[in-house]
A and B are shown apart, each in its own frame.
Chain A
Amino acid sequence: MGRQLLLEKIKVEGIRGYETYRREGGYRSVEKALKTMTPDQVTDEVKKSGLRGRGGAGFPTGMKWSFLAKPEGVPRYLVCNADESEPGTFKDRYLMEFLPHLLIEGLIVSSYALGCKRTYIYIRGEYAWIPEILETAIAEAKAAGWLGQNILGTGFELEIYVQVGAGAYICGEETALLESLEGKRGNPRIKPPFPAIKGLWDCPTVVNNVETLAAVVPILNFGGEEYAKIGIGKSTGTKLLSACGNINKPGVYEIDMTISVEEFIFSDEYCGGIANGKRLKACIPGGSSVPILPANLLLKTAKGETRLMNYESLSDGGFAKGSMMGSGGFIVLDEDQCVVRHTLTLARFYRHESCGQCSPCREGTGWMEKILRNIENGKGKSSDIDLLWDIQRKIEGNTICPLGDAAAWPVAAAIRHFRDEFEWHVNNPVECLTRNYGLAHYADPLTPVTA
């Protein structure tokens, strides 16, 4: 078992409640920060830890915090992004559901570092049973003196509130989230200004992912330098991965970012191999927005090196031959799955979730879905494949927010690596209705992989 910094205690009976959590060493980081450190020292520890945002973009958290504007007399806000809607991703839910106090603890320390007195957790509306769990934890923490006025007699005051969304993936994008939290439609804002300067109600704001803020707790407990020793290169600490698709053991796993992709898929400690004794076909390693990789490029980089489960290694080879760590949503396809159909579901997802502000995204996502639906249903033409390629290129980089890119990349990668499969659909319009292409051929030469 790798090093567990976040999930170590998740199986402890009663850990959801305050008493047990505290007995197991909870809230030590708050004592340490408030009693022995200045806010800037806390930020420095986070900088030293090398922690990168766990929401998808991987931006260094300490650096993001240091950009926060601090004008006199203007409140600052921390908003925890618990919108978690990227297909394949369900790690934040697991943390909030079973270790709510870890998040609350991380929020208190982070709010102290940033000088916030009101902090909001924006959670997707569909997780309808979780706000109660969080609110109970908040009430317990408050009763025990970790929230409210004059915390630990230091003069620091803080309230944490849970805000519930209402079904919109786009509200995970930080500026759309802020619009939504202001009671509006979730239309992303044009940047700059960035939230660090002008965020919630025009005040300086930091938006961080649930896992990012939870990771602040072990960083404080062990010290930033110790935390940075775990992992490799710029992939420090541990990362939660939510594994799903055709594997034996779907679930949430904490890894230290030194293990190989192969170990993650095939080891019994993690995914336990491909379900039903099948072979591995492909995988989207970091949530639906990142490029899909065929098995050969997934397990080895283009240079033939073992691919590791970390930021640098997953993106090795760029988009032509690599992918991204993204949100850690690890989606595995077995040998019988249809890449066209899978890509169609993702295209439909992005069409459904586009906020409609920018024409390339609004129109392009609709077009991509229609063309993919035709190809999947044996009504495609071979020029459709090039048309798809064209459309995704016209979306990428031409929109207000990255949802446009997120919609373009999966389509691009599917065509790049599985063009044969698209062509087979076009050339076999009847057969493709009754059977999948499976492992037949690949645009990339493939050596089939088994456990």
Chain B
Amino acid sequence: MIKFTDEKLKKVQEIVARYPEGRQKSALLPVLHLAQDEFGGWLSPETMDYVAGLLKLEPIEVYEVATFYSMYNLKPVGRFVFEVCQTGPCMLRGSDQIVDYIKQRLGIGVGETTPDGLFSLKTVECLGACGYAPMMQLGKYYREHLTKEKVDSIIDECRQNAALNN
């Protein structure tokens, strides 16, 4: 059974209180973020139904939103998702080469996950870091001014992190 901890439920209440009476639907995007973080990094149908129940919405209202926004994962993803920007300004600074290098290092293509479930590679559109290109998002933070060496050290860092937290 899917259920938020009491602490997260309190957070949901706090979010709902930001809007006028009866406008709790506005809490949907923030609560879906919370749910994705809490329940394995993606939104399963059960997770979405749970959120619908919490916010007193029809499940379809939640599916509609979850499928519109690119940050919601509708399938499980690797533990570390490399989201490399490939839009114009990043392309000008060599993002294509960075994507190729990551593919080669991880042995996967764009949209794929390594067999050990550790890494996924995604290409994304402009993340508002064009001046610090090439770049990628890794979890909450950006990794900017990427080079092959930097990519190597990020991969090592993730592996170490995974070994420590297993």
Whether the pair A87, B71 counts as a contact (CB closer than 8 A) is: no
Q: Which residues of chain A are near B87, meaning CB under 8 Å? A: 87, 288, 345-346, 348-349
A89–B29 CB distance below 8 A: no
Q: How many residues of B contact A (CB 8 A)?
A: 39
B137 touches A126 (CB 8 A): yes
Give the total of A residues in contact with B, Cβ under 8 Å.
Answer: 60
**CB atoms of B70 and A166 under 8 A apart:** yes
Does any Cβ of A come within 8 Å of B115's Cβ? Answer: no
A242 CB-CB contact with B under 8 Å: yes
> Given A85-B128, A126-B128, A243-B131: A161 and B70 within 8 A (CB)?
no
- Flag if B130 contacts A168 (CB, 8 Å): no
Query: Per-residue 0/1 for B127-152: is the Cβ within 8 Å of any A Cβ (1 yes, 0 no)?
Result: 11111110001011100000000000
For A335-358 the 0/1 string (1 means CB < 8 A from B) is 001000110011011001101000
CA distance A334 to B132 in the complex (A): 17
B68 touches A352 (CB 8 A): no
Name the residue in B29, B129, B137 with the highest tally of chain A Cβ atoms < 10 Å from its Cβ: B29
**Chain A residues within 8 Å of B68, by CB:** 168, 185-186, 355
In chain A, what residue has the closest Cβ to B140? A128
CB-CB under 8 A from B70, the residues of chain A are 166-168
Residues of A with C-beta under 8 A to B126: 85-88, 169, 288, 349
CB contact list, A202-228 vs B, under 8 A: none
> A184-B64, A329-B130 are known contacts. Are A161 and B89 too (CB-CB below 8 A)?
no
Q: Give the residues from 125 to 154 in chain A that come closer than 8 angstroms, CB to CB, to chain B.
A: 125-129
Binds B, one of A244-252, A307-315, A419-427: A244-252
**Complex-state Cα separation, A252 to B132, whole angstroms:** 11
> Do residues B92 and A129 form an inter-chain contact, with CB atoms below 8 A?
no
A–B complex contacts, Cβ < 8 Å, 23 sampled:
A85-B128, A87-B126, A89-B130, A118-B18, A125-B33, A125-B69, A126-B128, A128-B141, A161-B18, A164-B33, A182-B25, A183-B27, A183-B65, A184-B25, A186-B68, A186-B69, A244-B93, A245-B130, A250-B131, A342-B91, A345-B86, A352-B125, A353-B125
- Using CB atoms and an 8 Å cutoff, list the residues of chain B in contact with chain A: 18, 20, 23, 25-30, 32-33, 61, 64-65, 68-72, 86-89, 91-93, 125-133, 137, 139-141
